[in-house]
Structure 1
Amino acid sequence: MPTPDAPLTVKPQVLEFFAGMGLARLGLEAAGFDVVWANDYESDKRALYQGHFQDEAAGHTFVLGDIGLVAGADLPRGAALAWASSPCTDLSLAGGRAGLAGRESGAFWQFTRLLDELGADRPGVVVLENVVGLATSHGGADLTAAVRAFNALGYSVDVLTLDARRFVPQSRPRLFLVGALNPPADGGAPSAELRPDWLRRPFDDPTLVTHQAALPEPPALRSTGLTGLTEDLPDEDPRWWDAVRTQAFLDSLSPVQAARVQALQRAAAVSRRTAYRRTRKGVAVWEVRADDISGCLRTARGGSSKQAVVELGDGRVRVRWMTPREYARLMGAADYDLSGARTNQALYGFGDAVAAPVVAWLATHYLRPLVERSASRMTAEVVGASR
C-alpha cells in the first residue's frame, strides 16, 4: 500500500463525457491519465475518435447516444476523474444565449445527474470545460448555478480560464471548473492570468464553496506561428481559389483591410494570415487578421464560420480554405489520424473541441497532483483507521 504523498503507481482512470473526437483525451493521457470510458451523441465524432485511438476492442468503451439515456449504473467504478466538455451552443456569443436552460448546453444537468447516481463511487475530481460565455451567461447566474450544482455533490470548485493561444497560434479562450471532494488549500495570491477580475464572482459569493489552487503562471500568449504551421500547397493544387474568386475576395475588403493586405503583398517575405467572412450592414465582406495567429476555429456550418488562409508576399495574393490538417495543428493534435475522414467531418470535429495542449497543461499542473493528493489522503485515512 502506498504511503501518504507517494505518487500513484498506476494511471488514474477517467470518464470522458461529451468526448467529441477525443482531444481532451489526448491532453489527459499526455499527463498520465487513462481514459477508460467516453460518450458522445455525434456518430461522425465517434468515427473520428475510434479511427484515431482504435482501442475499443482493448477495453475502452465509447457509448454513442444521448447522455440522458445513460444511467449511473452503466458507468465504470473506480475512476479518479470525470471530464465534461459539455455543449457550448447556448452559451456562446454565436448562439442564442439560452444558457444552461438551453436544449444543448442544458446537457450539463445530465452530467451532474450521473455524478449523483454514482453516489460514493463518484470521482474525487471533476472538470467542466466550456466557452468563457458561461461566466457571463444570464448575468453570471449560470456559472453560479453550475458551481452550486457541484457543491451539492460535495465538490469544492475552482474556476479558471486558459487560452489555447498560450500553446498554439490560435486564439481560443476556454473556461474550466475544477471540482474536488478533497480540495487543496488556497494558494495565496491568485494568478491574474488564470483568474482575471471577470471571474471573481464565484469566489466572492459566500454561499458557494470554492478554492483557488496554487498553480504556475501559464506560458505567455503567442502572437506568431501561423505562417510556419500552415501547409505548403503547390501552385497547381485545386484548393487555391481561382482569379475570379480571389478578386471578389479582394474587392470585399474595407480600405483598412485592403491596405493591410497590400502591405503584406509588397513584402519580400511570404506570410500567411487567416480571414473570416463577416456580414456588415447586410453585405458579406472579408476581414484579414493583422497578426500571425488564427482566429478561434469554429464548427463548419454554413460556410461563413470557416477560416480562409491568405498567402501574401513577393507581389502575390493567394486564398484558400484552411485544411483539416491545419485545424489539427492549431488544436495541438498535429498527428491526429484523419485517414478516411471527410473534410467537413474533420473541420466540425476540431471546431467543436478543446485544444489538447491546454488540457495537458491543466492535467499536469493541477489535475494529476490533485488526484494524487486525494489518493494519498484516502490511503492515510485507511491506514489510520486500521491502527
Structure 2
Amino acid sequence: MADNRTHTTTNLACPKALEFFAGIGLARLGLEEAGFQVEWSNDIDAAKCEMYRNHFGNSPEHKLIEGDMSNLHGEDLPRDASLAWGSSPCTDLSLAGTRTGLNGKQSGAFWQYARLLRELGSDRPPIAVLENVNGLATSHSGEDLAAAVRAFNELGYSVDVLSIDTRRFIPQSRPRLFLIGLQDPPAIEQFNSPLRPDWMQQVFADSSLRTHRAPLPEPPSPLMSGLSMYIENMPDNDGRWWDAEKTDKFLDTLSPVQFSRIESLRKSTNESYRTAYRRTRNGKAVWEVRADDVSGCLRTARGGSSRQAVIRLGNGKASVRWMTPREYATLMGAAHYNIDGLRPNQVMFGFGDAVSVPVVEWLGKHYFMPALHGSLGKDLYTEQTLLASAS
C-alpha cells in the first residue's frame, strides 16, 4: 500500500537535500547552484570519496558516509531533507554494460535506495529523484522502468520521467533519464515536451502506475558546436601530443569516410577540434571521429576503448592526444573542480561516471524549487491560457 504521508519542509529559502550514490559530488554542485543545501552524502567507492573530500573539504553542515548503503538504515539519515537525489549505478543498464537491468549486482543498489526512503517514514523528502542512463527505459522491454516507478509509487510518490541530454547546455553528447517523484504532483499536465520523447510514452500509458507530466519551460536547444571552448590550449611541443608515428597509425585506421571527415578541416586555415573513440569493427581496432563539433559521451577510463581522443585540425596539420582530466571536468560543467594531487585515471573515472552539473541545476531551478513552493507549472499555465484567450 502506498504511504501518502507528507513531509513538512522547514526552510524553503534553502531546502536541504540528501545525495545517494554521490560519486564525486556533481549532483551536489548542481543542487547548490539551484539553492539547495546538501547535508548528507553516501558513496561506496573510496577513490570517488577521496575526490569528493578533495574538492568540498569538511564542513559541520555536511556529512559524507563512505561505504555500502546496504549497511545503512533510516535512522542514519537526516530527517529534515526536502529532496533525495539518487544516481544509481548504470553498469547493468547502459548499452555499454551487461543489460541485466535492476536485478544486476550494481544497478540493483536502487532497491537499497528505495529501502532507505521507506525507512524514513513520515520524514521522507517530498521530492525523490533517480538518475540513470536512457537504457533504463528499454531494459527488459520497459519492465525495469515500470518497476522503479512502482517502487516510488509505493513510497507515496507520483513519478515524472524526463530524458535530458547534456548537449543542451555543454557540447557533450550525454543523454540521461530522470525519474522525479513528487508527493504533491501538479494538477496541470504538459503533454508535449522534447524532454518526454515518444519512446518513453509507454510508462505514462500504463494505468497501473501513478505518473504525472509537470509543465516545464522549453529547455535550451541541443548544441551543435562549441567543443573548442572546452578544450585545453596546448602548444605544439607539449608532450601530451602523440608523436608522428602514433599519429600516422591513428590516421591509417580511419575509413575513407572517417578520413574525408577530417581532411577538409585539416586543410582549413581555421583551427578546429574533433573527438574520436576507438572501436572494434570486424575484429579490427579502428578509430571513429565524430562528425560534429561536440564531444562524445565521457566514459569511465577503463582501457583504450573507453578513452576519448582529441584531434586538432587546421593549417595542414592533424595533431592527436588523449582527452585530459581537466577537459573531462569542464565538459561535465565543473571547470573549477579541484583535481590537484589526484591520479589522472581516478579523475577521468570519477567524471565519466557522474551526472552533468548544468542538467541538475536546470532541474533544480525549473522543477524542484517550484515544486517545493507549490508553483510548478502555474506561471507557464497562466501564460499559455492568456495566449490562447488572446487568439
The reply to whether TM is greater than 0.5 is: yes
Give the structure 2 partner of residue 65 of structure 1.
Answer: 67
| 1:272-309: CA deviation from partner (whole Å, max 9, x where unpaired) | 10000000000000011111000000000012101000
What secondary structure, in the 3-state scheme, does the structure 2 residue paired with 1:200 have? helix
What secondary structure, in the 3-state scheme, does the structure 1 residue paired with 2:374 have? helix
Give the structure 1 partner of residue 166 of structure 2.
Answer: 164
| 1:285-335: CA deviation from partner (whole Å, max 9, x where unpaired) | 001111100000000001210100000110001000001111111101111
| 1:20-60: CA deviation from partner (whole Å, max 9, x where unpaired) | 00111111000000000000011111111111111x34231
Give the structure 1 partner of residue 183 of structure 2.
Answer: 181
Give the structure 1 partner of residue 23 of structure 2.
Answer: 20
Give the structure 2 partner of residue 361 of structure 1.
Answer: 362
Give the structure 2 partner of residue 373 of structure 1.
Answer: 374
Give the structure 2 partner of residue 223 of structure 1.
Answer: 224
Give the number of equivalent residue pairs: 367
| 1:148-200: CA deviation from partner (whole Å, max 9, x where unpaired) | 00001111101111100000000000000000111111334331x11111111
Give the structure 1 partner of residue 105 of structure 2.
Answer: 103
What secondary structure, in the 3-state scheme, does the structure 1 residue paired with 2:294 have? coil
Give the structure 2 partner of residue 328 of structure 1.
Answer: 329
Alignment map for 1:104-143 (pairs within 5 Å): 104-143=106-145
Alignment map for 1:68-79 (pairs within 5 Å): 68-79=70-81
What secondary structure, in the 3-state scheme, does the structure 2 residue paired with 1:219 have? coil
For 2:368 and 2:123, how far apart are their aligned partners in 1? 18
Query: Partner amino acid for 1:27?
Result: G
Residues 190 and 214 in structure 1, CA contact (< 8 A), matched pair in contact too = no
Out of 145, 148, 169, the position equivalent to 1:146 is 148
For 1:174 and 1:9, how far apart are their aligned partners in 2? 28
Which range is displaced more, 45-54 or 125-134?
A: 45-54
Query: Partner amino acid for 2:18?
Result: L
For 1:18 and 1:8, how far apart are their aligned partners in 2? 25
Give the structure 2 partner of residue 345 of structure 1.
Answer: 346
Give the structure 2 partner of residue 243 of structure 1.
Answer: 244
Residues 30 and 364 in structure 2, CA contact (< 8 A), matched pair in contact too = yes
The answer for unaligned runs of 5 or more in structure 2 is 1-8, 376-391
| 1:74-116: CA deviation from partner (whole Å, max 9, x where unpaired) | 0011100000000000000001100000000000000000011
Residues 16 and 38 in structure 2, CA contact (< 8 A), matched pair in contact too = yes
Which range is displaced more, 43-52 or 14-23?
A: 43-52
Deviation of 1:202 (Å): 1.4
Residues 185 and 212 in structure 1, CA contact (< 8 A), matched pair in contact too = no
Deviation of 1:264 (Å): 1.0
Residues 257 and 287 in structure 1, CA contact (< 8 A), matched pair in contact too = yes
Query: Partner amino acid for 2:241?
Result: W
Deviation of 1:8 (Å): 5.5
For 1:202 and 1:287, how far apart are their aligned partners in 2? 35
TM-score scaled to structure 2, two decimals?
Answer: 0.92
Give the structure 2 partner of residue 84 of structure 1.
Answer: 86
Residues 7 and 372 in structure 1, CA contact (< 8 A), matched pair in contact too = no
Which range is displaced more, 139-148 or 334-343?
A: 334-343
Give the structure 2 partner of residue 30 of structure 1.
Answer: 33
Runs of 4 or more, structure 1, over 2 Å off, are: 6-10, 56-59, 186-190
Query: Partner amino acid for 2:44?
Result: Y
| 1:117-145: CA deviation from partner (whole Å, max 9, x where unpaired) | 11111111000000000000000000000
For 2:136 and 2:39, how far apart are their aligned partners in 1? 28
Give the structure 2 partner of residue 384 of structure 1.
Answer: none
Residues 190 and 216 in structure 2, CA contact (< 8 A), matched pair in contact too = no
TM-score scaled to structure 1, two decimals?
Answer: 0.93
Residues 156 and 180 in structure 1, CA contact (< 8 A), matched pair in contact too = yes
Residues 99 and 105 in structure 1, CA contact (< 8 A), matched pair in contact too = yes
What secondary structure, in the 3-state scheme, does the structure 2 residue paired with 1:353 have? coil
For 1:76 and 1:250, how far apart are their aligned partners in 2? 55
What secondary structure, in the 3-state scheme, does the structure 2 residue paired with 1:296 have? coil
Give the structure 1 partner of residue 380 of structure 2.
Answer: none
Residues 42 and 66 in structure 2, CA contact (< 8 A), matched pair in contact too = yes
For 1:117 and 1:228, how far apart are their aligned partners in 2? 46
Residues 300 and 306 in structure 1, CA contact (< 8 A), matched pair in contact too = yes
What secondary structure, in the 3-state scheme, does the structure 2 residue paired with 1:222 have? coil
What secondary structure, in the 3-state scheme, does the structure 1 residue paired with 2:301 have? coil
For 1:70 and 1:147, how far apart are their aligned partners in 2? 23
Residues 41 and 65 in structure 2, CA contact (< 8 A), matched pair in contact too = yes
Alignment map for 1:250-269 (pairs within 5 Å): 250-269=251-270
What secondary structure, in the 3-state scheme, does the structure 2 residue paired with 1:304 have? helix
Residues 12 and 372 in structure 2, CA contact (< 8 A), matched pair in contact too = no
2:312 paired with 1:311: yes
